[in-house]
Amino acid sequence: MKRQIRCASFFLTILLVPFLIVSSVYSQDTFFKGKTMRIIVGGPPGGGFDTYARMIARQLSKHIPGDPTIIVDNMPGAGMMIAANHIYKAAKPDGLTIGHFTGSQSISQILGQPGVEFDMRKFTYLGAPTADHFSCAFTKTSGIVSTDKWLASPKPTKMGAVGPGNLTDNTLRVLSTATNFPIQLVSGYKGTAPVRLAMEAGELDGSCWGWDSIKSTWSRAMETGDGIVVLQAAPKAHPDLPKVPLAINFGKNEEGKQLIDVVIHGGNIVERSFMLPPGVPKDRIVTIKSAFDKTLRDPEFLAEAKKARLGVAPISGDELTRRVNAFFNLPEDMKRKIKRVLYE
């Protein structure tokens, strides 16, 4: 009798599986159909974050059942902390809001930076289109055309950053401490687009931000020679920049090199994170994650990225989760060192 019951249960399960799959797809189609999804970007229009988000938004919808409308909203300010707080506290956890801001806000949280109202460990990470490859670029008129010129500069070079907690700011603070490059940090810009404009206006000498963003959004200056990359703040040289020196090789000592590795190299991996607020239903998370992964492999997305000169080397949501959690597991002495450099 028990054997007959088990057999009956087995065949009933086999019959129900297709129904459950169809039911789940239908449920998602019903929810997303006619809806408007938003990607909240922590930077202003015209920057690398904004460019990636808009390319993804143009292709993401077709991979979500129900084909919802997807728009991009910019929410710059406070080194992208405003966007992080909004996604965490204000955005409804219904799957209709995606955040795109720097994963380096993890450091802001573990160091207790004022204004943090989020927990980076509680976001659901969808993935990232690529790891960043921070590089330091200057205008030709600044006279900083090489690391030798930079080291020999008679005065600190004025370099722009987005704000505390952002990797542009973190990178310059670490370099000013861990190396002998003379740097005058000018922080508080709403994004890399305003930083570029300030460089072109002569208000700044240079800045450090992602190479993909540099070559895409500042392509004209790079082509004419008015913009020059003199340093790579990444663990190894980018294929586009084989002769440009690495920042870690200029570390004053072992502690300086550790700071460069943890803050800058680690920040590069999580920089371009896309995430959902805490509490989104699991079935919608599965749907959006799948759509995000498909978008990053979509031929139209890849063609647009190539045209825009933006790199695509996808990082999974699971990998981003692991990397973010690793910041919280840093030894206490390293946390104290980072806090001293970034905030004290």
In a shared domain, residues 48 and 123:
yes
Using a 10 angstrom Cβ sphere, with 0-12 exposed, 13-18 middle and 19 or more buried, the burial of residue 100 is buried
Query: Is residue 39 included in any domain, yes or no?
Result: yes
Mapped onto helix, strand or coil, the DSSP state of residue 319 is: helix
Q: Give dist(CA 218, CA 196) in Å, integer.
A: 8
CATH value at residue 50: 3.40.190.150
- State residue 8's pLDDT score: 46
- Complete DSSP assignment for 273-341: -EEE-TT--HHHHHHHHHHHHHHHH-HHHHHHHHHTT-----EEHHHHHHHHHHHHTS-HHHHHHHHHH
- State residue 9's pLDDT score: 52
End of a domain among 268, 303, 325?
268
Cβ–Cβ < 8 Å for 43, 80:
yes
End of a domain among 208, 236, 268?
268
| Total domains in the fold of the chain | 2
Q: Give dist(CA 196, CA 160) in Å, integer.
A: 9
- Complete DSSP assignment for 82-93: HHHHIIIIIS-S
- State residue 100's pLDDT score: 98
Amino acid at 107: I
Residue 215 host element (H or E): helix 211-217
Which pTM value belongs to this model?
0.86
Query: Is residue 28 included in any domain, yes or no?
Result: yes
**Per-residue pLDDT for the chain (344 aa), expressed as one digit of tens each?**
545 545 445 444 554 445 444 444 445 568 999 999 999 999 999 999 999 999 999 999 999 999 999 999 999 999 999 999 999 999 999 999 999 999 999 999 999 999 999 999 999 999 999 999 999 999 999 999 999 999 999 999 999 999 888 999 999 999 999 999 999 999 999 999 999 999 999 999 999 999 999 999 999 999 999 999 999 999 999 999 999 999 999 999 999 999 999 999 999 999 999 999 999 999 999 999 999 999 999 999 999 999 999 999 999 999 999 999 999 999 999 999 999 999 87
Identify the CA nearest to 299 among candidates 47, 100, 62, 46: 62
Query: Is residue 179 included in any domain, yes or no?
Result: yes
Pairing, β 274-276 against β 97-100? antiparallel
Residues in the chain: 344
- State residue 330's pLDDT score: 95
Instruction: Tell me the residue range of the domain where 255 lies.
Output: 134-268
Q: Give dist(CA 342, CA 57) in Å, integer.
A: 34
Q: Give dist(CA 203, CA 196) in Å, integer.
A: 10
Query: Is residue 1 included in any domain, yes or no?
Result: no
Residue 329 CB neighbour total at 10 angstroms: 7
- State residue 29's pLDDT score: 67
In a shared domain, residues 198 and 311:
no
- State residue 15's pLDDT score: 46
- State residue 27's pLDDT score: 55
Pairing, β 36-41 against β 69-74? parallel
In a shared domain, residues 221 and 328:
no
CATH value at residue 229: 3.40.190.10
- The partner residues of 230 in beta bridges, in order of sequence, read none
In a shared domain, residues 117 and 162:
no
- State residue 169's pLDDT score: 96
In a shared domain, residues 161 and 287:
no
Residue 328 CB neighbour total at 10 angstroms: 14
